[in-house]
Amino acid sequence: MEPLAHDVLQAVTKPARYTGHEWNSSEKRPGEAECSFALSMPDVYEVGMSNLGLKILYEILNRREDTAAERVYAPWVDMEAEMRGRGLPLFSLESRTPIRDFDFLGFSLQYEMIYTNVLNMLDLAGIPVWAAERGGDVPFVVGGGPCVYNVEPVADFFDLFVVGEGEEVLGEIVALFVTWKREGRPGGRKEFLRRAAGISGIYVPSLYAPRYEGNGDFRGMERLDEAAPAVVYKRVVRDMDAAETMEKPVVPYTGIVHDRIMLELFRGCSRGCRFCQAGMAYRPVRERSPEKLRVLARNMVDATGYDEMSLTSLSSADYSCLDGLVDNLMMDFAGEEVSFSLPSLRIDSFSIGLADRMQQIRKSGLTFAPEAGTQRMRDVINKGVTEENLLDAVSAAFRKGWKSVKLYFMLGLPTETDEDIIGIAKLAKKVVDCYQQITGRRGVKVTISVSCFVPKAFTPFQWAAQDSLAEFERKQKLLKEHIHDRAIQFNYHDARVSRLEGVLARGDRRLSQVIYEAWRRGARFDGWTDQFHEEYWLDAFDALGVCREDYNERQRARDEKFPWEHTSPGVARAFLWTEWERAARGELTSDCRRGRCTGCAVCPTLDVRVVDGGIKS
């Protein structure tokens, strides 16, 4: 494919999104390899380039002699208009090869609001949107990422899904494809998918069919082929030190959301927050050794020139060797002006001394996630932190010179009352007062960011009803009315988007027609405030006679069958129900990482174990 014409680049915002050829990008070409893979997060370049999982898979695939991997992201609306107007197909960044010419197109599904972007990119690539309509001349469309724990709403658009962690399984898919290709592609597309279903962690939707009662209730998933396993369990990397990972990240020419090195300390979380799908689905905790992390950090700084590094994980402050690791990293990079940061911190594991050492070069604000405004509500969600923990943490920070704090909360959690909502405002005011008491002056900035609770599959709250739009908006107004101090800034999410996310998060295959109809009417970039058009979705639901409220406003019965349970992260349904009951009673469940087993069943089901600071169980 020819280079992009200058008049195309001059007609769009941020043309560097489409030029490619960044530092450390692959120079392998699809036509030179036995297998070609286009990797995508279906969002704009700045967001997609910030995705750690895709960075890792891109590098791993390109280390294979038989494989060439390139990247593609969703063109922004101005670029889409240029492409459609000029008849330009969707192309890869590295070689500008049409995506239709690849063997695989892999999408990382990070959140439900990018589903219409998937359809839009398939259409721009000239690939049939519906999997059943694809012949042998188009790529296999693969899905992965957090949304795989209920992909039924988009199952009919994908050929296969990778359930769980992809570092090992992607190589198995490539090896299977190369063998099938060398054999002359026997049995065509369907035969390859049948073979792929035999790989642990691979879900092929076309080998299953949902069944419904006469009243429309979901009855279960029927296997259509003996090649389809009854339950597809997630793939899990057992040894993080031994696993292949990223060492030479691609360096963008334009700013991206996370424009820094991401050093992944460990995977999994055992805190057991009952709203958190990642905490349940990514179990168990598996740490990297400090020695391995130091090597990776050195390699990535040398390969990129970045002077900022984020120590990432679901709960980074819980890394067992964090203090020593930070001291060693600062020693390793002394004189190189490399700064280190942690994402959102847990209040009860916060160390002001550690934070102070980490921010010697660049001092930013601190971020904590209490999630709820009252202790009762924090116990319901099993957060396991107290108001005293928060005030102790911010007091220590204020004494060290910090004067900016961001706090994350949720509205609409199960059993929530108005008192719990008002408690958010009261807690924020206590933080402001704490600053004044310590410093004797005003000047602190406390930002509270409040999201709308969305029940997710494979969490104890998968049985919960979601608040109505009117109730969310009432609660947002109530909270705003109780914030009186100008030092407190209140940010909140669009409840309309959260409500739609709630429908898609626990939906079934009947929603595929709704997603298609919304896209056909113009829906895309639904996670972007300025691009979200609720009317496209409302019209689509109405046109197809699908009741939105049945998916998100209805509390599920204990024994109700769910459309996502033929795929599994290994967490037992009985454990989730027990946690749902404990939530109703406001009872806490302990962290199993260094205490007793709580019976979630992940370790025995997946034959994996906790790896924690040299203590292996």
**Residue 382 pLDDT > 70, yes or no?**
yes
Radius of gyration over every alpha carbon of the chain, rounded to an integer in angstroms: 24
- Top CATH class of 364-510+546-555 equals alpha beta
pLDDT, residue 616, reads 47
Write out the two tokens for 220. Answer: 């279960």
pLDDT, residue 405, reads 93
- CA 532 vs. chain centroid, Å, equals 20
Task: State mean pLDDT over 469-488.
Answer: 97
Task: State mean pLDDT over 278-305.
Answer: 96
pLDDT, residue 232, reads 98
Task: State mean pLDDT over 125-151.
Answer: 97
Contact 602, 570 (CB under 8 A): yes
Q: How far apart are CA 372 and CA 380, in angstroms?
A: 10
Q: How far apart are CA 69 and CA 250, in angstroms?
A: 13
Q: Is 440 left (phi over 0), alpha (psi -120 to 50) or beta?
A: left
Q: What is the pLDDT of residues 309-363, one digit of tens each?
A: 999 999 888 899 998 999 999 999 998 989 898 876 667 656 777 777 776 656 6
- CA 522 vs. chain centroid, Å, equals 25
**Residue 143 pLDDT > 60, yes or no?**
yes
pLDDT, residue 367, reads 87
Kindly state the percentage of the chain with pLDDT values over 70: 97
Sequence ranges of the chain with CATH classification 3.30.750.200: 364-510+546-555
Half-sphere exposure of 110 (CA within 13 A, CB side): 15
**Residue 617 pLDDT > 50, yes or no?**
no
Task: State mean pLDDT over 367-394.
Answer: 94
pLDDT, residue 362, reads 62
pTM score, whole prediction? 0.95
As a whole number, the mean pLDDT across the chain is 94
**Residue 479 pLDDT > 70, yes or no?**
yes
Task: State mean pLDDT over 489-495.
Answer: 96
CATH of domain 6-233: 3.40.50.280
Contact 371, 381 (CB under 8 A): yes
Contacts of 154 (CB under 8 A, 6+ apart): 109, 115, 118, 143, 147, 512, 515
Write out the two tokens for 261. Answer: 């090195």
Sequence-ordered alpha helix ranges (H) in 509-560: 511-521, 534-544, 549-552
pLDDT, residue 596, reads 85
Contact 109, 144 (CB under 8 A): yes
Q: What is the pLDDT of residues 547-586, one digit of tens each?
A: 999 999 999 999 999 999 999 999 999 999 999 999 999 9
Residue at token pair 């639901």: 541
Kindly state the percentage of the chain with pLDDT values over 90: 88
pLDDT, residue 270, reads 84
* 384-552-506 Cα angle (round to 5): 80
Task: Please state which of the ranges 46-55, 176-185, 384-393 shows the lowest mean pLDDT.
Answer: 384-393
Burial 566-582 (b: 16+ CB within 10 A, else e): bbbbbbeeebbebbbeb
Reduced to 3 states, what is the DSSP secondary structure of residue 352?
A: helix
Q: How far apart are CA 421 and CA 53, in angstroms?
A: 35
**Residue 267 pLDDT > 50, yes or no?**
yes
Q: Which of 115, 201, 212 is nearest to 158 (CA)?
A: 115
Sequence ranges of the chain with CATH classification 3.40.50.280: 6-233
**Residue 291 pLDDT > 70, yes or no?**
yes
